[in-house]
Amino acid sequence: MVSRRQAFLAHPINLLLGPPTTTCGRKQIFLIRWATLGSVGGPVYALNLFDIADREEYLAYSRRSVGEVERHGGRVVALGRFSESVDGDVEPRQVLILVEWNSREAFESYRDDPYLEDLHEHRERGTSRYVWQLFDRLPDLRPLLKGPAPQR
């Protein structure tokens, strides 16, 4: 018997190997959605938490960073200013930026691009207490709630 997971993974292969269609039907819509997921791991979110240390340095970074993030496959999905600590043991930061990247590879291309070395220097000099964490996109929490407890 074929599991749901095996059937799901085989589905795009069957669609690709099946006869081509000339109308815009479910098959093509599925293939477009499948192709936009990026790598096998799919989209990732970069959580950025930090304090402004040097306004001019951070302005130099922010003027150019949005275009470069987009050029490398990312988009800013949320900006926030700290307002209140409700619970938890994380030290508050002034700023929150959440960036969605097409894939981990897209994020790494932005982080490691030698052309952007000077840009990252502005970010480093313009901020303090920087937290930069990646999170895999999940359709729901079931993958985290199944199996052994997560390791930290």
Same domain as 98, residue 119:
yes
Q: Say if residue 70 is in the same domain as residue 104.
A: yes
The verdict on 67 and 126 lying in the same domain is: yes
**Structural domains counted in the chain:** 2
Average pLDDT, the chain: 80
CB 101 within 8 Å of CB 74: yes
Query: Residue 147 — very low, low, confident or very high, per pLDDT cuts 50/70/90?
Result: confident
Q: Percent of the chain beyond pLDDT 70?
A: 71
Residue 16: per-residue pLDDT: 38
Digit-coded pLDDT (tens) for 80-104: 999 999 999 889 999 999 999 999 9
Q: Is residue 57 part of a domain?
A: yes
Residue whose pair of structure tokens reads 């819509």 in the numeric block: 29
pLDDT at 86: 93
* Cβ atoms of 98 and 112 closer than 8 Å: no
The answer on 48 and 32 residing in a single domain is no
Split at pLDDT 50, 70, 90, the class of 28 is: very low
pTM exceeds 0.85: no
Same domain for 30 and 73?
A: no
Please report whether residue 58 resides in a domain: yes
Measured distance CA(66)–CA(74) in Å, rounded: 9
- One domain for residues 26 and 60: no
Q: Is residue 81 part of a domain?
A: yes
Same domain, 18 and 87: no
Amino acid at 68: E
Tokens of 20: 């081509």
Considering the domain boundaries, does residue 114 fall inside one? Answer: yes
Say whether both 59 and 78 belong to one domain: yes
Least confident of 36-45, 77-86, 125-134: 36-45
Burial class (CB in 10 A: 0-12, 13-18, 19+), 130: middle
* Residue 130 lies in domain: 44-136
